[in-house]
């Protein structure tokens, strides 16, 4: 068994190297690659992703996995060895059903589509992106059909990001969460003038913003000797291995909060990746468990910590020093402005309360898109209608509407619900952390984040992909994923701010 396990690790390391090489090219395309490089980059990524898939679904890998799976009962479920066999077999049995030509075509279309999306967004012209999105939807339908039978064609796409989760399961959570969320949004809207965020609007030097964001991210635990921060059209995190995890942000010279919160969000992702166990290197397990677990980390750092009073009691004097505009603004006015809640057009800039409605809109729209109830051509109109229904706003441009997110251009259909699932889980983590670390609030106020990182590393980060979201939730909190703590957190925080 030991010999076969080493053989498997050798084969999986080759796959990991190819995937990480492709990730470097992806990162370059989003940061420094000139526009003229897109066709060659599409071909390069198609080749690398195709090879990675070909090597992973090779018969030798399948034979080793099935032989090793017969010995799973002899191993500790939590061990690296058992997890490697269990998770790799799950991945193999899914990937082996997908033709290599389809993998290559999705990768090529993603690279071309990303460039088209960027141009369409800049020019506010959906028609420039539409044919690429139609092609991607067609390809992802073919992908999903590889996994028949299913209850919903959307299920295999969701499973790519949240193993084992289906539309029915996620929809059940969102269906219970949506009514109280809408109720809270409406209650706050009755007192919208109670919080003034105009105090946050001024001119903020972009270099100063980048320096401040870098300092905050580093203090939270992002190791810049194993990472870097750059600018991109849409903030993202790229992981090559725990020793090289890079993030990007985007800055608005008229809004210091937007770029800072984006930087903290991506730092949360990167901190997760930098703290996976080194024993998982090149196994395919050395990255986040799932996208909901990943988003729980980014949303935890961005919102639960990053928009809290204790956090800003420490950082506000430094913000005032970096940006003199704030020197005459008292702390409480800043805190309330930072947490102003009102419907807005852009998801990544939405406040904690309205954010969930942005996600539910996308989740429901993707489900309708893949079940043939909405066409790509109809997306701008349907998007605008649902924005008006859910948030009372109609985007004046497609740039602020259907073109705002990069995900569809890259074929990341099924990803969006994980943002809200992760937000829900982030609050459960915070509840548990406070029980096990009674002085955690005081540590945040003192700017001490080492124990928080150590707790997250022990409970989540070090395990990489060894466990699923339900397993992690049970292990850390002693029970299943629950939306009620998240709703209680929002009611308490925003009830206090708005006097509800």
**Tens-digit pLDDT profile for residues 335-377:** 999 999 999 999 988 999 999 999 999 999 999 999 999 999 9
Can you tell me the distance from the alpha carbon of 68 to that of 64, in angstroms, rounded to the nearest whole number? 6
Q: Annotated catalytic, 93?
A: no
The angle that helices 309-322 and 206-220 make with each other, rounded to 10 degrees, is: 140
> Residue 103: its pLDDT value, please?
95
Which residues of the chain are under the pLDDT cut of 70? none
> Residue 362: its pLDDT value, please?
97
Which residues neighbour 454 within 8 Å (Cβ) at sequence distance 6 or greater?
A: none
Q: What is the pLDDT of residues 57-101, one digit of tens each?
A: 999 999 999 999 999 999 999 999 999 999 999 999 999 999 999
CB 395 within 8 A of CB 384: yes
229-231 sheet: strands from edge to edge = 229-231, 244-249, 237-241
Can you tell me the distance from the alpha carbon of 303 to that of 221, in angstroms, rounded to the nearest whole number? 16
> Residue 192: its pLDDT value, please?
82
Which residues neighbour 427 within 8 Å (Cβ) at sequence distance 6 or greater?
A: 304, 485, 486, 489
Helix (H, G, I), strand (E, B) or coil at 229: strand
Q: Which residues of 454-487 are buried (b: 16+ CB within 10 A; e: fewer)?
A: ebbbebbbebbbbbbbbebbeebbeeebbbebbb
Hey, what are 19's tokens? 């995937």
Active-site hit among 19, 30, 81, 266: 266
65 burial (CB, 10 Å; 0-12 / 13-18 / 19+) is buried
Instruction: Give the 3-state secondary structure percentages of the chain, helix then strand then coil, rounded to 5.
Output: 70, 5, 25
Distance of CA 76 to the CA centre of its chain: 31
Of 355, 329, 332, 331, the C-alpha closest to 342 is 355
Of 422, 395, 441, 468, the C-alpha closest to 77 is 468
> Residue 445: its pLDDT value, please?
98
> Residue 247: its pLDDT value, please?
97
Domains of the chain in start order, with CATH, are 2-149 (no CATH), 167-498 (1.10.1370.30)
Where are the alpha helices (H) located in 96-236, listed in sequence order? 100-123, 126-145, 155-161, 167-189, 206-220
Whole-structure pTM value? 0.94
Helix (H, G, I), strand (E, B) or coil at 269: helix
Of 74, 79, 88, 72, the C-alpha closest to 7 is 88
Where are the alpha helices (H) located in 323-351, listed in sequence order? 331-338
């Amino acid at each position: 068994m030991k010999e076969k396990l080493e053989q498997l690790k050798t084969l999986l390391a080759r796959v990991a190297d190819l995937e990480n090489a492709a990730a470097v090219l992806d990162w370059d395309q989003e940061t420094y690659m000139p526009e003229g490089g897109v066709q060659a980059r599409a071909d390069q990524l198609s080749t690398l992703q195709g090879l990675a898939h070909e090597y992973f679904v090779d018969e030798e890998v399948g034979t080793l996995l099935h032989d090793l799976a017969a010995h799973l009962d002899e191993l500790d479920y939590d061990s690296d060895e058992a997890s490697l066999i269990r998770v790799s077999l799950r991945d193999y049995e899914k990937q082996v059903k997908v033709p290599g030509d389809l993998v290559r075509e999705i990768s090529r279309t993603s690279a071309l589509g990303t460039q088209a999306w960027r141009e369409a967004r800049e020019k506010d012209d959906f028609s420039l992106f539409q044919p690429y999105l139609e092609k991607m939807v067609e390809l992802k339908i073919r992908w999903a059909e590889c996994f028949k039978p299913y209850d919903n064609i959307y299920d295999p796409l969701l499973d790519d990001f949240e193993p084992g989760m289906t539309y029915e399961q996620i929809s059940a959570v969102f269906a219970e969460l949506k009514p109280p969320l809408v109720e809270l949004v409406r209650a706050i809207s009755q007192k919208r003038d109670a919080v003034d965020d105009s105090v946050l609007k001024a001119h903020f030097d972009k270099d100063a913003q980048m320096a401040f964001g870098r300092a905050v991210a580093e203090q939270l635990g992002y190791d810049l000797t194993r990472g870097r921060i750059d600018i991109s059209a849409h903030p993202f995190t790229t992981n090559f291995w725990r020793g090289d995890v890079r993030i990007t942000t985007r800055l608005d010279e008229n809004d210091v909060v937007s770029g800072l919160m984006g930087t903290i969000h991506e730092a949360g992702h990167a901190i997760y990746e930098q703290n996976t166990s080194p024993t998982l290197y090149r196994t395919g397990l050395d990255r986040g468990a799932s996208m909901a677990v990943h988003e729980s980390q980014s949303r935890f750092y961005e919102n639960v910590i990053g928009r809290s009073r204790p956090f800003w009691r420490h950082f506000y004097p430094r913000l005032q020093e970096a940006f003199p505009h704030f020197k005459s603004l008292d702390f409480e006015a800043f805190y309330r402005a930072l947490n102003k809640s009102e419907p807005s057009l852009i998801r990544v800039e939405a406040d904690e309360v309205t954010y969930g409605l942005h996600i539910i809109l996308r989740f429901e729209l993707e489900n309708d898109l893949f079940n043939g109830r909405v066409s790509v051509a109809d997306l701008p109109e349907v998007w605008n209608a649902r924005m008006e229904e859910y948030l009372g706003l109609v985007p004046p441009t497609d740039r602020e509407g259907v073109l705002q997110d990069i995900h569809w251009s890259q074929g990341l259909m099924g990803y969006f619900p994980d943002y809200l699932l992760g937000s829900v889980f982030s609050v459960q983590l915070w509840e548990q952390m406070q029980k096990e670390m009674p002085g955690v609030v005081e540590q945040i106020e003192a700017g001490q984040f080492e124990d928080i990182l150590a707790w997250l590393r022990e409970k989540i980060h070090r395990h990489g992909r060894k466990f699923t979201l339900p397993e992690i939730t049970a292990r850390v909190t002693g029970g299943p994923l629950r939306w009620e703590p998240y709703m209680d957190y929002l009611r308490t925080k925003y009830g206090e701010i708005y006097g509800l």
